[in-house]
Amino acid sequence: MKKIVALMLALVMVFALVACGTEPKKDIHAKGEGVMTYAQYEAAAMDSEVVVETFVQAKQGWWEKDGVGVATLYTQDKDGAYFLYNMPCSKEDYDKMVTGTKLKVTGFKSTWDGEIEIIDATYEILEGNYVAEPIDVTDLLGKAELEKKMNMFASFKGLTIEASNDEGAAFLYKWNGTGQDGDDLYFNASLNGETYTFCVESYLCGKDTDVYKAVKALKVGDKVDMEGFLYWYNGAQPHITSVK
């Protein structure tokens, strides 16, 4: 009997240890109560209230608007992206937000010249971290399906740099060359005979960043692979974060 009891106790200990080692992992992508899936967000009407859980992928900037601190963030979950525009946010919280930080955001779905975004939002920083891998959208360039990937972290491979103006410049400061060093950079790149415009958004990637310097060093005819966020302004206008 003693042997059986000892054996039972040993088994209990073993199971207990095994159980300790395999505590089920919390699914960071599981949506909380009242939180929309990306599909629900996508289906939500414009100007309706939306509640999403999402992960910061990049911070465009923090500034004061009418004396209130606001943050503009590129965020996404595993299914899709949410651009958070001018979200009231303290500088302290903004500094806490890093790539991967999980947020619960309540705001209004809105569109501005084609860009779908969440505005007038409030947020809560949650536990959890997710950094998205870039999704390759090269084959979707110029196609209607590209819009479905709006705001996502994306890659564009094997494009060729084209002239941005009649003088043959490889890039322009501001969209028409009226800017100066430190302003947004615009450049064209082609694939299969079609030319697309890309942008280095200066708030997201300023003049001291590698990508800003890399674009300034581009020559017409260079072959490039790029990564960036699929921002929209009357059509795709990717905000590029890396050029190789």
Segment near another protein (CB under 8 A), from 30-38, 52-60, 64-72, 153-161? Answer: 64-72
Closest separation in Å from C-beta 98 to another protein: 27
Q: Which is closer to another protein, CB of 119 or CB of 126?
A: 119
**Residue 124 belongs to what H/E stretch?**
strand 115-129
Separation in Å, CA 169 to CA 1, 41, 159, 212: 90, 41, 17, 15
Residue 22 near another protein by CB under 8 A: no
The first and second tokens of residue 173, run together, are 């400061």
Q: How many residues lie near another protein (CB under 8 A)?
A: 23
21 class by beta-carbon count within 10 Å (0-12 exposed, 13-18 middle, 19+ buried): exposed
Q: Which is closer to another protein, CB of 111 or CB of 192?
A: 111
Of 47, 79, 95, 124, the one binding another protein by CB under 8 A:
47
Q: Which is closer to another protein, CB of 142 or CB of 158?
A: 142
Residues numbered 168 to 197 that lie near another protein (CB under 8 A) are 174-180
Q: Which is closer to another protein, CB of 27 or CB of 113?
A: 113
Q: Which is closer to another protein, CB of 158 or CB of 235?
A: 235
Segment near another protein (CB under 8 A), from 13-21, 63-71, 127-135, 203-211? Answer: 63-71
Best CA proximity match to 54, nearest among 71, 29, 33:
29
Those residues with Cβ within 8 angstroms of residue 223's Cβ, 6 or more apart along the chain or in another chain: 158, 159, 160, 161
Residue 66 near another protein by CB under 8 A: yes
- Phi/psi for 13 (5° steps) reads -60, -45
Closest separation in Å from C-beta 115 to another protein: 9
Segment near another protein (CB under 8 A), from 4-12, 61-69, 75-83, 94-102? Answer: 61-69
Closest separation in Å from C-beta 197 to another protein: 10
Closest separation in Å from C-beta 176 to another protein: 5
Residues numbered 78 to 117 that lie near another protein (CB under 8 A) are 108, 110-114
For residue 119, the number of C-alpha atoms closer than 13 Å in the C-beta half-sphere is 9
179 class by beta-carbon count within 10 Å (0-12 exposed, 13-18 middle, 19+ buried): middle
Question: Hey, is 6 helix, strand or coil?
Answer: helix
Best CA proximity match to 13, nearest among 1, 25, 5:
5
By CB under 8 A, name the binding residues for another protein: 46-49, 66-68, 108, 110-114, 120, 174-180, 234-235
